[in-house]
Amino acid sequence: MKTQSENETKCCPEFDPAPWDEKIVEWDNKKFIKDRVVTLFYMPVNFGSVMKRLNKTIVNADAIMPDYLCLSDHTSKWNMDLYLAVDKDIQGATNVDFSGKFFCKVFEGAFRDTGKWCKDFENIVKSKGFKSNKLYMWYTTCPKCAKKYGKNYVVLLSKVD
């Protein structure tokens, strides 16, 4: 896995699904900064401007974003919370730590398949003997880079017991 400083890509780095597909990641106080995106029936309205604001916060703090990891929590049809992984607490930002075991599954395709992915994910989690507590989505590239790479990977993660 690469960090932001190890990557020369100016937009989204190419995503390698292997470390994330049907894997359990265990975090102990993994650091994130949190922000909120306005959505209209789950479709992001100001995602780009929020990401620019978060990036500016990271650059100004001389921090890095490991794996370019940004988790989305769709809290309603009207908004979603973003959790951007960072290597340290950042003054002036909403700092959040994640701890626990998280089951990950990588999906590839059009965003219109998100509902199907969520159902498939829940079935996979149950088949592994886990109980899903909280679902997050990681949109690994922007639409422009997904087109450039020819793949639109989305990782679903859930804290599991």
CATH code: domain of residue 152: 3.20.80.10
Please give the Cα distance from 119 to 136 (Å, whole number): 13
Q: Which domain holds residue 33?
A: 15-160
pLDDT tens digits along 124-154: 999 999 999 899 999 999 889 999 999 999 9
Structural domain includes residue 70:
yes
Structural domain includes residue 9:
no
Structural domain includes residue 109:
yes
pLDDT tens digits along 20-49: 999 999 999 999 999 999 999 888 999 989
Structural domain includes residue 54:
yes
Structural domain includes residue 155:
yes
Domain count, the chain: 1
pLDDT value at residue 7: 45
Structural domain includes residue 2:
no
Structural domain includes residue 5:
no
The answer to whether the beta carbons of residues 110 and 122 sit under 8 Å apart is no
Please give the Cα distance from 63 to 60 (Å, whole number): 8
Of 89, 74, 73, 68, the closest CA to residue 16 belongs to: 68
User: Would strands 23-40 and 43-44 be described as parallel, antiparallel, or unpaired?
Assistant: antiparallel
pLDDT value at residue 92: 94
Structural domain includes residue 10:
no
Q: Is residue 6 scored above 90 in pLDDT?
A: no
